[in-house]
Structure formats: C-alpha cells, structure tokens
Amino acid sequence: MVDTNFLKNRSKINKFIIFLAILTVFISLGYFVYLNYNRGKGNLNINQETNKPSKIAEEKIAEEKFGESEIECINVDEKFISDLKKEKRYDLKYQYKYKIGNGVIEFNKREDKNPVVELFYNGRKIYEFEDLALDEYTSLWCFSYKDYKYLVINSYTGGAHCCSVSDIFALTPNGDLKFVRSLISEYAYVNVASLMIKNNKLYIELPYYFGNFFGPSLSGFNAVKYYLLDSDKIIDAHYEFKEEYLKKAEQRSKECFSKKEPDITCIGEVVYNYLMAGEEKIAHETAEKFFNKFTDIKDDMGNKITLEEFMKEVKRLAGKN
C-alpha cells in the first residue's frame, strides 16, 4: 500500500529544491548585471569599448608615479635595535619620483634595444640599471648613520632560485648622491634587520644560501657575510667577525662527525666558516679528517667527490680561490 503522506512530503521537498535553484540563478544574474553596470559607471575606471583604463585612471596612475613623496630615513645610532617594523618601504611600481634630503631622485625607464632604468638626482644621471624591473618586487628604503643617508633599492632578478639584489647609494654631507655597491644574495635583501653596530661601527649582516652544493638546489647550506659601511664605501669585513665564524664552525663540526653517513653540505658549512674566519689551515685539516672517516663520498649523480674538488668549491663560495 502506498503511503500518501510520504508522497505529499516528498512533493513539497522537490518543489522547495526547485525554488532554491531558481532563486540562485536570479541572484547570480543580478550580481552579474550589477558588476557590469558599475564598470560602465566608471567605478573600476575601465572603458567598455576598448577594455583599457579610462582617462581618469591614467591620470591617477601618472599622479602616483610622478608625485614627489618625501622619503623617511631611519636613524641608526648606538641605541639602534634592528626591527623590520621600523622600515618604511616605497613601491617603485607606483611611484618614480621622491624627495630625499634637499634633493629629488627620479627613475626613468628608457625603452630602446636594451631597456634600462636610469636614476637621476636633481636632474643629473647618477646610475643606470640594466636589470631593474619597476614592479611589485622592487622597492626602496632609506636609513641615516652619522652624516650620511643610505638609499637601498631592493629588486628581484627573476629565476627559480636567484637572485635578490640590493643596490646601495650614499647621500654625502655635501649633498652628492653616489652609487656605493650592489650586494647579491640568493634570497635575502638588505633591510633594517641586516644592520648591526659593533665597536661603534655600522655593519650589514647578509644571509646566503649556497644551493646546488654537489647536488640539487635544495642540497646546500646557509651562510652569512658581513660588510662594513665606511662613509661612501662598503667593505668586506668578514675577519672582524672571526669569533662568530669559529663558533659556528665548531658547533656544526660536532654534528657532521657524529653522523653515521657522510653529509657533504654539513661539512661544507663547517669548512666555509673556518675559511671566513681566516683559518685556512684548520679548514683543510677538518675537511681531510672528514674525507678520511667517510671514504666513499658521492654527489647526487653517484660520482665520487675528491677532497681537492670539495676544497675548490668551498673556497670559491668563500671568495678564497
């Protein structure tokens, strides 16, 4: 016998589902009409016929790119504590012209056979970037130390594993803007957290990652390099951090030799730190000891690695070849 109450309830449920489906369609159509109406009214500043930014949008972009914002330079002194929250970044994707000190810097993108970006200071060309992209990956910031202001332009070259570039300029007490040096790392920019004061001197501490160390890109080790800011110069200052390098080398050395299987990246980091500390003899003796303990050391392709090949590569990374 057929349950009539069940059939009635089922019919009601089906009608309700159909009603919800029709309601959803009408809501979707209404939202679509609303978006297109707002496009036509100019809320998104898009011309429907050409699908290009309207004149109002273009004027706004031009105003952002060429308006003069004053760059705030973070003051660095003996009480300075590295804190990324202090950093004021300026996005070069949206603005090309800034006030700094008593002058104005301006970026000009020149389109020719080899597109470049030119940096002007008070109308005089200071520098020419060959690979600088004025996009969301490019920004600038500023800090001051004693009588100098330093302008840092951070950009990404593109590529799977490299590179982060920091181009550093110094604004001298005489009001001259000078290019100082480019620092390149695999993944790190020069930022507020990179700055440190030691013995009344200002240094940059820049982390590196040396991938492809006898293996794929993820086969590598972390490292650090130190640079001294001396007025309008940036000087390699690794020997001034000898204690830090030695401490790191000794800590990692214990880990490397305690392992049952050879870890080429581990011993690579140890030897690198000894070399940066200026202890080349200890570096070579440590590597030799490791190769004597683990006699069958191979790369990711199964090729045997010799002590000479190993030392040559680590010295190259440490800039000692």
* pLDDT band at residue 81 under the 50/70/90 scheme: low
Peptide bond preceding 142 in cis form (omega within 30 of 0) = no
CB neighbours of 18 closer than 8 A, spacing ≥ 6?
none
- Residue 67 phi, psi dihedral angles, 5° rounding: -70, 155
> What is the pLDDT averaged over residues 146-174?
87
- In the predicted model, is pLDDT for residue 64 greater than 70? no
Instruction: Give the pLDDT score at 132.
Output: 82
Asked if the model's pLDDT at residue 290 lies above 90, the reply is yes
Q: Which residue has the higher pLDDT, 49 or 109?
A: 109
Among 52-61, 78-87, 254-263, which stretch is predicted with the lowest mean pLDDT?
Answer: 52-61
- What is the rounded average pLDDT for all residues in the chain? 79
Q: Which residue has the higher pLDDT, 307 or 38?
A: 307
Separation of alpha carbons 142 and 146, rounded Å: 14
* Higher pLDDT among residues 305 and 47, named by residue: 305
Q: Are 95 and 64 in contact, with CB atoms under 8 Å apart?
A: yes
- Give the DSSP per-residue string, 178-237: EEEEEEEESS----GGGEEEETTEEEEEEEEEE--SSS-TTS-EEEEEEEEEETTEEEE-
Choose the weakest-confidence range: 12-21, 53-62, 154-163. Answer: 53-62
With the C-alpha atoms ordered 44, 48, 51, 57, is the resulting torsion angle positive or negative? Answer: negative
Confidence band of 61 (pLDDT split at 50, 70, 90): very low
Query: Mean of the pLDDT values across residues 2-24?
Result: 57
pLDDT surpassing 90 at residue 284:
yes
pLDDT of residue 151: 94
C-beta of residue 290 within 8 angstroms of C-beta of residue 307: no
* Across 220-240, average pLDDT: 92
Domain coordinates in residue numbering, the chain: 8-45, 60-192
pTM above 0.85, yes or no: no
